[in-house]
Amino acid sequence: MTILSKFKIAALAAGVALTNALPAAHADEQYFPLQSYRVGPYAAGGTGFFGGFIDYLNLINTRDGGVNGVKLTWSEAETQYEVERGVEAYERLKSNPNVAAWNPLSVGIAYAMIDRITADKVPLITINHGRTDSTDGRVFPYVFPLLLNPYSETSGIVNYIASKEGGPESLKGKKIVVLYHGSPYGKETIPIYELLAEKFGFELQQIEVPHPGNEQQSQWLTIRRAKPDYVVLRGWGVMNPVALKTAAKTGFPVDHIIGNVWSNSEEDVIPAGEAAKGYTAITIQASGTEYPVVKEIVSAVYDKGLGNLEDKNRIGSVYHNLGIVNGILNVEAVRIAQEKFGNRTLTGDEVRWGFEHLELDPARVEALGAKNLFHSINVTWDNHEGNGYVTFQQWDGKKWNVVSDWIAPDWALLRPIIEKSSEAYAEEKGIKLRTAEDAEAATN
């Protein structure tokens, strides 16, 4: 790390927006405002995700000259993952022209932005996370929890456990403990686990770990006494390595702990050392550098000195690859929207239309150089998640290894619950449910 780059981080820490590719009021540019977090407690995840996202945008610019001639631009504002800073960054960045979509990678910031982006008619992408009922595009026209919402994640994890036990019927009589972070994020899946326990007949115990989760002795002693077959770790930050270490300390087998999407990165397992070996976690994107798109990023971006990660060893890490997949989805939404509206700079509402027609089947994913990096997506005007598939990876002490096929969550089971929640939200807010015809119209 050079002294110059350290001062760059210092400037970010001071809340100064660092412009990597200055947005300008140019007719053939599409701008991505990035509310990133490169300092503070979640900097490791932020630098990886936004690094991957920027690397992909850079690849499109350097390799293709942009999307059909439209150059991609972006600038960053530091949030430190704090909601108020995220909102302030939003207010600051939204004045830039040609905004395509917002990608804050923060549940709290995303929640605070929903009314604002809806009024502005610009998409808000919450890949892998976000509020579950924003899947319903009838109520949330501009919010996209792409690939995986928390309920689908829950269903995917239970389906994986079922596959390990020999099928869904084998879950009957089994005992599963969910160890969740004491926050709205952690508590969001409580009802869906209860529903799935009832459906499959497994015994369920849900145990809260108070934020930040750096003490879990009592929770794991309770788990040891409960003698569950599996523990699902719905953690965040320091809670994850502490959970793995405390599990080892209390004698619970690590290969029977299944992590959720915010417990699946290198940052979650490396601090746990030996205690993390054999730990399995869900993911929507595989890690590693063997995928053609990642190789292209190395050759076309990093080898030319344009890479965003300061440590090249992090190329292909979980958060970096998540950023790349997020880049692919954003760029393809722009490309699809251009097919309808023309190869020019698009409005936010036109990009929204693009996201609502974002269909990337496995063949298209392969053509993009991302075969097995992620499976596929099929977003529609009323399904903003897009039926993403999940897979599971196991930590061997040095790297993650994929240990399952692509698994489909039980979307049919989940949809009515999602609609019930979104319709209640619509009623509370006085929102008229959108129709397919409403969705087809895009303002320019």
Partner 1 sequence: MSDFDWLFFTEVLVGGLLSGVMYSLVAIGFVLIYKTSGVLNFAQGALLLFAALTFVSLVERGVPFALALAVTFALMVVIGIAIERTVLRPLTNKPPITLFMATLGLSYVMEGAAQLVWGTQVHALELGIEDLPFDVGGVFISQFDIFAAAVAAGMVALLSVFFRYTRVGLAFRAVADDQFAALAVGLRLPWIWATVWATAGLVALVAGLLWGARLGVQFSLSLVVLKALPVLVLGGFDSILGAIVGGLLIGASEKLAEVYLGDYFGGGIESWFAYVAALAFLLIRPSGLFGQKLVERV
Which residues contact partner 1 (rule: CB under 8 A)? Answer: 1, 6, 9-10, 13, 38-44, 47, 182, 206-212, 214-215, 217-219, 221-222, 224-225, 237-238, 241-242, 245, 248-251, 267, 270-275, 310-311
Q: Which is nearer to partner 1, 172 or 224 (CB)?
A: 224
d(CA 245, CA 210): 17
- CB atoms < 10 A from the CB of 237, how many? 21
CA 216 → CA 188, 250, 332, distances in Å? 20, 10, 43
Residue 175 C-beta: closest distance to partner 1, Å: 17
Task: Give residues with Cβ within 8 angstroms of 115, minimum separation 6.
Answer: none
Residue 396 C-beta: closest distance to partner 1, Å: 15
Residue 264 C-beta: closest distance to partner 1, Å: 14
Residue 377 C-beta: closest distance to partner 1, Å: 30
Residue 53 C-beta: closest distance to partner 1, Å: 17
Task: Spell out the long-range contacts of 1-7 with Cβ–Cβ below 8 A and sequence spacing 24 or more.
Answer: 1/310, 1/311, 5/310
Residue 129 C-beta: closest distance to partner 1, Å: 20
Q: Cα dihedral sign for 329, 333, 334, 335?
A: positive
Q: How many helices (H) and strands (E) does the chain have?
A: 16, 14
| Backbone angle region of 157, left / alpha / beta, with phi > 0 → left and psi within -120 to 50 → alpha | alpha
Q: Which is nearer to partner 1, 85 or 384 (CB)?
A: 85
* Beta-bridge partners for 233: 179, 259
Q: Are 224 and 205 in contact (CB under 8 A)?
A: no
Q: Are 308 and 317 in contact (CB under 8 A)?
A: no
Q: Which is nearer to partner 1, 8 or 434 (CB)?
A: 8
User: What are the φ and ψ backbone dihedral angles of 25, each rounded to 5 degrees?
Assistant: -75, 65
Q: Which is nearer to partner 1, 13 or 433 (CB)?
A: 13
Residue 222 C-beta: closest distance to partner 1, Å: 6
Q: Which is nearer to partner 1, 74 or 220 (CB)?
A: 220
Q: Which tokens go with 155? A: 């269903």
Q: Which is nearer to partner 1, 52 or 241 (CB)?
A: 241
d(CA 55, CA 77): 17
d(CA 263, CA 201): 26
d(CA 268, CA 238): 7
Q: Which is nearer to partner 1, 61 or 219 (CB)?
A: 219
Residue 394 C-beta: closest distance to partner 1, Å: 18
Q: Which is nearer to partner 1, 168 or 182 (CB)?
A: 182
d(CA 268, CA 262): 9
Residue 111 C-beta: closest distance to partner 1, Å: 21
Q: Which is nearer to partner 1, 62 or 205 (CB)?
A: 205
